[in-house]
A = this chain, B = another copy of it.
Amino acid sequence: MINPVTKTLGMALAVSALLGFSLSAATAADKPSGDNLKKHQTSPSGKYQPSLDVMPGQKMEQPGQKEGVPTLTKAEFGIANKIYFERCAGCHGVLRKGATGKPLTAKVTKELGFDHLKSFITYGSPGGMPNWGTSGEMSENEIDIMARYLLNEPPTPPEFGMKEVKSTWKVHIPADKRPKKKMNNLNIENLFSVTLRDAGQVALIDGNSKKIVHIITTGYAVHISRLSASGRYLFVIGRDALVNMIDLWMKTPATVAEIKIGMEARSVETSKYKGYEDKYAIAGAYWPPQFVIMDGDTLEPLKIVSTRGMTVDTQEYHPEPRVAAIVGSHYKPEFRVNVKETGKILLVNYEDINNLKVTSIAAERFLHDGGLDSTKRYFLSAANARNTIAVIDMKEGKLVKLITENDGIGTTPHPGRGANFVHPKFGPVWATSHLGDETVALIGTDPKGHPKQAWKVVQSLEAQGGGSLFVKTHPKSKNLWVDSPLNPEADVASSIAVFDINDLSKEYQVLPIGEWSGISEGVRRVVQGEYNKAGDEVWFSVWNGKKQESAIVVVDDKTRKLKAVIKDKRLVTPTGKFNVYNTMNDVY
């Protein structure tokens, strides 16, 4: 069953590029359908919305022309700009300084030259660049425009300061007009918030009846759902940086406030420390590179903090350090904020936001997602392009260790929030799978009880193959689930590997979740296991294209047998699923 995949990362990135974004945390979400990865690459199925919703009156200005550089008409500039933001910015960065993809500054592109650029865009590369021309995604004329566009200086995208943020802020139902108690019969703690990616919605699904309770219109391709500390409010953020605040106490849960905190974003979180429950929300943007602290009742924007600054290693200025995963600390009144391109982990203390204390922990570049250990004291974060897991101590506010390839981390770790369990031999561990290979790294997280194992890869499991996005378990479970939705093999992408935590030497079992869904069309990518509150069943998305059938398959945790298939016409491209109880309590 062991199936090491060469170039899986490249292909995953290519898929990612096709979609115009870089792979990220709950971005299992960020993938449409296609028959299989290979086919998808040559003929992606769905068009999608532009991700950059520039504010009215804040259009990108065309930079000046230079001698010896091909010109673009105003119309061509508009086309190129749109294509760049939809297709290229996710990997190459808004400012073209490079990120997951290579830099495309005018200096670099001039060295490559017009013909090279044209052929590169047309044919792609095995390193991950999609074949935009031969796939039919871009016309010859569009490629010609793009090659010329890239030879010019990048336009500067507009800023999005308090004025712009505030202009997008809407309180639909003021706090004093909201119910004083829960007005519905929902078992809120076992509710699931499910991203309906290509529909620009979330579905609230009742964990008991497995029925859709309500569909809520949100930003585009909701990246994650998070709960307020009390569990009453659900916050979701779209890739277009729109935050919806949903009141789960209402008879029919609905958006009570919304705000756009930038032009592109991935993360939202709430204050969880004792005394600050439901007081603040925070959201982090890709562009502009900043995070915004908001009132937890109204989403009123209170404080904007830019993340521009120096990279961790070379200490050179980076103009576009994007905000990746944010986690609210249980140990301190702090938000932990990953700044991707500079490789800094920020501990943002919210006790006094007018005299804002921020600890900037030098970690490693391209910080992405990650999760807490079982004690919630430590945070383990992937610096995925550097094949590194950075461990920080949220209590002491400092870096504990960078666990690298040399320590046994695989290629491009992608933990999501990771999975915590007690290893029969090595004690408490936290697990991550990888985009770039088939391994699952188990890292010791108990420096007191198991000092020898602490912050070491104590074991590396081999799962089905690369292209994995998420691992999952639950404190009450003895199963470790490993998905591989981005694997190029259709049968690998549409199934799940499950390990027995009691005996990790045993071969993993493969559950054909795609098949179980009863769907016959599409690749049926199986992604992101999520437990119910009781921890006795686990939900997987069977994720197909926008015009294809998708489903959620529920597996009994004890027997590993099919328990239910959730199908509904409204279940369009379901991806991330967030159980209220597990999300609010960081159970993973």
Give the oligomeric copy count.
Answer: 2
Cβ B362 vs Cβ A399 within 8 A:
no
In the complex, what residues of B have CB within 8 A of residue A358's CB? 357-360
In the complex, what residues of B have CB within 8 A of residue A163's CB? 314, 316
A535 within 8 A of B: no
- Per the bound structure, the CA–CA distance linking A156 and B358 in Å amounts to 29
For A69, give the chain B residue with the smallest CB separation.
B64
Q: Which of A306, A397, A398 has the most CB of B within 10 A?
A: A306
Cβ A306 vs Cβ B303 within 8 A:
no
Cβ B359 vs Cβ A357 within 8 A:
yes
A126 within 8 A of B: no
Q: Which of A176-228 contact B (CB under 8 A)?
A: none
In the complex, what residues of B have CB within 8 A of residue A167's CB? none
The stretch of A50-58, A233-241, A348-356, A368-376 that contacts the partner chain: A348-356
A46 within 8 A of B: no
Q: How far is the CB of A307 from chain B (nearest CB, A)?
A: 9
- Per the bound structure, the CA–CA distance linking A66 and B66 in Å amounts to 9
Q: Which of A296-342 contact B (CB under 8 A)?
A: 303-306, 308-310, 314-317
Cβ B398 vs Cβ A352 within 8 A:
yes
Q: Taking A64-B153, A65-B66, A161-B310 as contacts, is the C-beta distance between A362 and B357 under 8 angstroms?
A: no
A162 within 8 A of B: yes
Q: How far is the CB of A45 from chain B (nearest CB, A)?
A: 38
Q: Which of B66, B316, B361, B362 contacts A161 (CB 8 A)?
A: B316
In the complex, what residues of B have CB within 8 A of residue A359's CB? 355-358
A447 within 8 A of B: no
In the complex, what residues of B have CB within 8 A of residue A397's CB? 355, 357
- Per the bound structure, the CA–CA distance linking A357 and B357 in Å amounts to 7
Interface string of A2-14 (1 = CB under 8 A from B): 0000000000000
A515 within 8 A of B: no
In the complex, what residues of B have CB within 8 A of residue A398's CB? 352, 354-355
Q: Taking A355-B359, A356-B359, A362-B355 as contacts, is the C-beta distance between A310 and B316 under 8 angstroms?
A: no
Q: How far is the CB of A96 from chain B (nearest CB, A)?
A: 14
- Per the bound structure, the CA–CA distance linking A196 and B370 in Å amounts to 56
A288 within 8 A of B: yes
- Per the bound structure, the CA–CA distance linking A354 and B315 in Å amounts to 12
Cβ A308 vs Cβ B305 within 8 A:
no
A424 within 8 A of B: no
- Per the bound structure, the CA–CA distance linking A152 and B65 in Å amounts to 12
Q: Which of A161, A314, A317 has the most CB of B within 10 A?
A: A317
Q: Taking A359-B355, A398-B352 as contacts, is the C-beta distance between A310 and B315 under 8 angstroms?
A: no
In the complex, what residues of B have CB within 8 A of residue A356's CB? 359-360, 362
In the complex, what residues of B have CB within 8 A of residue A66's CB? 64-65
For A344, give the chain B residue with the smallest CB separation.
B356
Q: Which of A64, A162, A288, A309 has the most CB of B within 10 A?
A: A64
Cβ A317 vs Cβ B362 within 8 A:
no
Q: How far is the CB of A202 from chain B (nearest CB, A)?
A: 29
For A303, give the chain B residue with the smallest CB separation.
B315
A70 within 8 A of B: no
- Per the bound structure, the CA–CA distance linking A535 and B66 in Å amounts to 63
Q: How far is the CB of A351 from chain B (nearest CB, A)?
A: 10
Cβ B310 vs Cβ A308 within 8 A:
no
A159 within 8 A of B: yes
In the complex, what residues of B have CB within 8 A of residue A315's CB? 161-162, 303-304
A475 within 8 A of B: no
Cβ B310 vs Cβ A317 within 8 A:
no
Q: Taking A63-B64, A355-B397 as contacts, is the C-beta distance between A304 and B314 under 8 angstroms?
A: no
- Per the bound structure, the CA–CA distance linking A316 and B166 in Å amounts to 12
In the complex, what residues of B have CB within 8 A of residue A152's CB? 64
Interface string of A44-88 (1 = CB under 8 A from B): 000000000000000000011110010000000000000000000
Apart from A64-B153, A308-B308, A355-B361, list 13 A-B contacts with CB within 8 A: A63-B63, A161-B317, A162-B316, A163-B316, A303-B315, A354-B362, A354-B398, A356-B359, A356-B362, A357-B357, A357-B358, A358-B358, A358-B359
A-B residue pairs in contact (CB < 8 Å), sample of 30 = A63-B64, A64-B65, A64-B152, A64-B153, A161-B314, A161-B315, A162-B310, A162-B314, A162-B315, A163-B316, A288-B317, A290-B310, A290-B317, A303-B315, A305-B310, A306-B308, A306-B310, A308-B308, A354-B399, A355-B359, A355-B362, A355-B397, A355-B398, A356-B359, A357-B358, A357-B359, A357-B360, A357-B397, A358-B358, A358-B359
